[in-house]
């Protein structure tokens, strides 16, 4: 099941051209992944407390159009692929009112322990996120 989250664009999110600074989209997607996991009962904080973390190891972004100050974005997030130790998240961002596509993204996360060593995703976590 996909997760949807709204992001309102503030002046601080934009660059001198009044468009969202490209790296800010990464922050929005990080928030969306956290909300996706929380909504499925796999709280990032709880997992961290149990010694399970996820690190992003690859990101592919296609910038389709620019978001601007005052826009509200609708971020859609889902898991498209899993392995024993990785999750691939997909995101789309659209301008809420018009539906204009802003970005499409794929982000691969690897499950690690507290010292950064890769480990298998706990089965119960994987079941919640698929």
- % of the chain surpassing 90 pLDDT: 98
Q: SS3 string of 48-77?
A: HHCCCEEEEEEEEEEECCCCECCCEEEEEE
Instruction: For residues 103-115, give the mean pLDDT.
Output: 97
Supply the pLDDT for residue 130. 81
Q: For 42-60, write each residue's pLDDT tens digit.
A: 999 999 999 999 999 999 9
CA atoms within 13 A on the CB side of 76: 13
Which positions are annotated as active-site residues? 15
The overall average pLDDT reported for the chain is 96
Q: Which CATH code, of 3.40.50.720, 3.90.1150.10, 3.10.129.10, 3.40.50.1820, is assigned to 3-129? A: 3.10.129.10
């Amino acid at each position: 099941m996909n997760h949807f989250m709204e992001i309102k664009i503030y002046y601080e999110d934009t660059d001198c051209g009044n468009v969202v600074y490209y790296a800010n989209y990464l922050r929005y997607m990080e928030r969306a992944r956290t909300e996706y996991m929380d909504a499925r009962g796999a709280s990032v904080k709880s997992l961290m407390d149990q010694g399970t973390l996820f690190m992003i190891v690859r990101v592919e972004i296609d910038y389709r159009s620019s978001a601007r100050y005052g826009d509200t974005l609708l971020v859609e997030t889902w898991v498209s692929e899993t392995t024993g130790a990785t999750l691939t998240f997909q995101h789309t961002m659209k301008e809420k009112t018009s539906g204009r596509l802003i970005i499409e993204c794929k982000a691969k996360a690897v499950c690690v322990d507290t010292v950064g060593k890769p480990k298998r995703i706990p089965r119960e976590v994987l079941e919640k996120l698929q």
